Structure 1
């Protein structure tokens, strides 16, 4: 799986999910901690991201039909239900090669990388931990989301300059928003940081 200037995105995705599994395996108490996804604890988020490794295409189709085609409803339903699965099962799914090779429909390798990086940061930023995603993967997602000028997640980047405090990465012009690269990705994904910072919505 290559994209993002021909680089090995699959390796980045795999390392991101493996890193997240390592954090949760080492710190069991974090399963009940809140994430940057409003209303979701870590266990809900992991249940969400591991759907491709746990649900067959037929099962996913049945879930989508039950949700009347609304992916947001499907996500909330599956997250609420499958958050109760044993931690060992969810960790196994995070480490699954099936998940590491999965690409969202229409999203390709870049979409798979963004999904992995953003959701891993939903956990690590909320917990105050360093990113588990490789630094190059975080930078690639920053480049991809800003190239789309925030349209992926509905944030308004007009008059905003983003500056990474840990890598020197920067984009845009206007009022400076300075944070570490992982926190910038979370802001670009429409999240509110633990300190209350958020980017305006369109």
Structure 2
């Protein structure tokens, strides 16, 4: 997936799978908490509907209210757009699934992992499956491992070897954390929901640490 056409084909497919899932949800499921802290399922959907059409001005306009914090700006916009009717959100995600743009202040290299991770933020708390091809998750792993802010995965997981068992990706040095690329991607982006899918001495340490908090 080295060329941009392949990348954006993967982004489009991921967005459309999320729209398919959202279309199946009962009204109560839209109000449930997602894996993304402080966001309901509908807020995550609002974020996904907004990303391909957002402008830098949209972000600047809410910055004072969000105290100029990028995380709070993201949350304000997600909640605002998540307040739309479910059918409207599904349609918006479908209509912009093939879009290759976003705000100039953002980075289109994040589009794939953003969609993958937020799709799981919706699916996992609802105990629904949203399959992701391992090679798509691998692209997400490569990007998140190298990007630094906001996840700082390389720093937070320093001292561990991470290895995908379903595709060709590994990084780091130390006790091993091994498992499906999707589970590792969720770990790198701060989610612990897939810890049970990970194996190795490093994974055992993480599980022990998580149980003690």
CA distance in 1, matches of 2:64, 2:193: 34
Aligned to 2:183: 183
Deviations 1:148-184 (A, max 9, x none): 5x65512322221223344464333322223322121
The offset of 1:123, in angstroms, is 2.2
CA distance in 2, matches of 1:140, 1:194: 18
Aligned to 1:6: 3
Instruction: Give secondary structure in 1 for the equivalent of 2:39.
Output: coil
Are the structure 2 counterparts of residues 116 and 177 from structure 1 closer, same or farther at C-alpha, using a change threshold of 3 Å? same
Is the Cα–Cα contact under 8 Å of residues 163 and 178 in structure 1 kept in the other structure? yes
Aligned to 2:25: 27
CA distance in 1, matches of 2:81, 2:106: 24
The count of corresponding residues between Structure 1 and Structure 2 is 196
TM-score normalised to structure 1 length = 0.78
Matching of residues 1-202 of structure 1 within 5 Å: 5-7=2-4, 8-28=6-26, 29-53=28-52, 58-97=57-96, 100-103=99-102, 105=104, 108-148=107-147, 152-155=150-153, 156-167=156-167, 169-193=169-193
Are the structure 2 counterparts of residues 55 and 44 from structure 1 closer, same or farther at C-alpha, using a change threshold of 3 Å? same
Are the structure 2 counterparts of residues 176 and 127 from structure 1 closer, same or farther at C-alpha, using a change threshold of 3 Å? farther
CA distance in 2, matches of 1:125, 1:65: 33
Q: Which has the higher contact order (CA 8 A, sep 6+)?
A: 1
Task: List alignment gaps of at least 5 residues for structure 2.
Answer: 197-202
CA distance in 1, matches of 2:56, 2:108: 19
Instruction: Give secondary structure in 2 for the equivalent of 1:171.
Output: strand
Is the Cα–Cα contact under 8 Å of residues 36 and 121 in structure 2 kept in the other structure? yes
CA distance in 2, matches of 1:96, 1:184: 30
RMSD (CA atoms)? 3.1
Bigger shift: 190-199 or 130-139? 190-199
CA distance in 1, matches of 2:95, 2:36: 23
Task: List alignment gaps of at least 5 residues for structure 1.
Answer: none
CA distance in 2, matches of 1:84, 1:18: 20
CA distance in 2, matches of 1:177, 1:151: 22
Are the structure 2 counterparts of residues 54 and 87 from structure 1 closer, same or farther at C-alpha, using a change threshold of 3 Å? farther
Are the structure 2 counterparts of residues 57 and 157 from structure 1 closer, same or farther at C-alpha, using a change threshold of 3 Å? closer
CA distance in 2, matches of 1:188, 1:71: 19
Are the structure 2 counterparts of residues 16 and 195 from structure 1 closer, same or farther at C-alpha, using a change threshold of 3 Å? same
